[in-house]
Amino acid sequence: MSSLLASNHQPMYYQLKQLIIDQIQNRELKANDMLPTESEYCRKYGISKAPVRQALSELEAENYIYKIRGKGSFVLSGYIKQKGDCLRSFSEDIIAMGHKPGARLIEQKYVKADKETAKCLNIEDGDEVLKVVRLRYIDDEIYSINYSYFSEARFPKIGEVDFSAVSIMKEIQDRFHSDVTNATVVLEAVATTSEMAKYLERKVGSPLLQMNRTTYFRINQIEQPLEFVRVYFVPDKYKFEVNLTKK
């Protein structure tokens, strides 16, 4: 038996499952790669078929792999795990994970702020804000649709920026000489609308994960809201990890 499994007191199926998850997350196994057969896992690790089957069944249930009858098990297009203890741009996050980020601009125009947007940006209801809608891609696959809002009063002429080609966070920092400091995040499950279905290739009414985030920056030693964004993720491609410490 492999020392990787023999030295651990966890059940065999769990050890094998975690081993495969590590291989997927480290990109040793990539999207649509075929996994070894049950027999190959048995021979390699000196275990019976029962724990191998349990490991593969749980991996399928948790959307790590998919099975094709008569052909085998394959790696599902992987989810992205974002950690809640680090504030970086989408592109920085995705590149750090070894993936290729991408974006497509859907809409960029000035609108009147609704109550939620005004509250998050600390402006008046009805104030003018720049609305930027973008599709985000990871390795050329649709990952999310983002609705971002910026205060025109706080960022004059921000509408002149071509957000089809730049990182929003980097452009704000460079153009307005501001430092991003922190963000607040709220996650909730929502149903896919007809507009989202068109862009995310989902059925109307199917579940999505919505993240509302307000990002803050410091300019002239004063902290102010920089951006309010509603992000709608395809749920099987996103996980959010938060590390909690006891005070």
pLDDT over 70 (residue 8): no
CA 197 to chain centre: 18
Flag the least confident range among 25-34, 150-159, 204-213: 25-34
- Assign 143 a pLDDT band (cuts: 50, 70, 90): confident
Parse the chain into domains and list their residue ranges: 3-75, 80-241
More confident residue, 94 or 154: 154
Quote the DSSP letter at residue 158.
G
Flag the least confident range among 12-16, 63-67, 168-172, 235-239: 235-239
As a whole number of angstroms, the distance between CA 129 and CA 112 comes to 6
| Residue-level pLDDT at 86 | 66
CA dihedral 49, 52, 54, 56 (to 10 degrees): -130
| Residue-level pLDDT at 83 | 64
Residue 193, token pair as written in the block: 């609308």
Query: Among 174, 95, 169, which Cα is nearest to 138's?
Result: 95
Per-residue burial over 182-202, b = 16 or more CB atoms within 10 Å of its CB, e = otherwise: ebeeeeeeeebeeebbeebeb
Flag the least confident range among 18-27, 88-97, 122-131: 88-97
Domain 3-75 has CATH 2.40.110.10: no
- Assign 159 a pLDDT band (cuts: 50, 70, 90): confident
Percent of residues, the chain, with pLDDT higher than 90: 42
CA angle, corner 19, sides to 18 and 21, nearest 5? 60
| Residue-level pLDDT at 19 | 93
Residue 212, token pair as written in the block: 């509302």
As a whole number of angstroms, the distance between CA 188 and CA 244 comes to 19
More confident residue, 85 or 30: 30
Q: What is the tens place of the pLDDT at every residue in 57-87? A: 999 887 788 888 888 998 876 566 666 666 7
Rounded average pLDDT over 132-147: 89
The architecture (CATH level 2) of 80-241 comes to 3-Layer(aba) Sandwich (3.40)
What percent of the chain is helix, strand and coil (3-state, nearest 5)? 30, 35, 35
* Mean pLDDT for all residues in the chain: 85
Quote the DSSP letter at residue 33.
P
pLDDT over 80 (residue 167): no
Q: What is the tens place of the pLDDT at every residue in 174-217? A: 877 777 888 999 999 999 999 999 999 888 998 899 999 999 98
State the number of CA atoms in the 13 A half-sphere of 215 facing the CB. 24
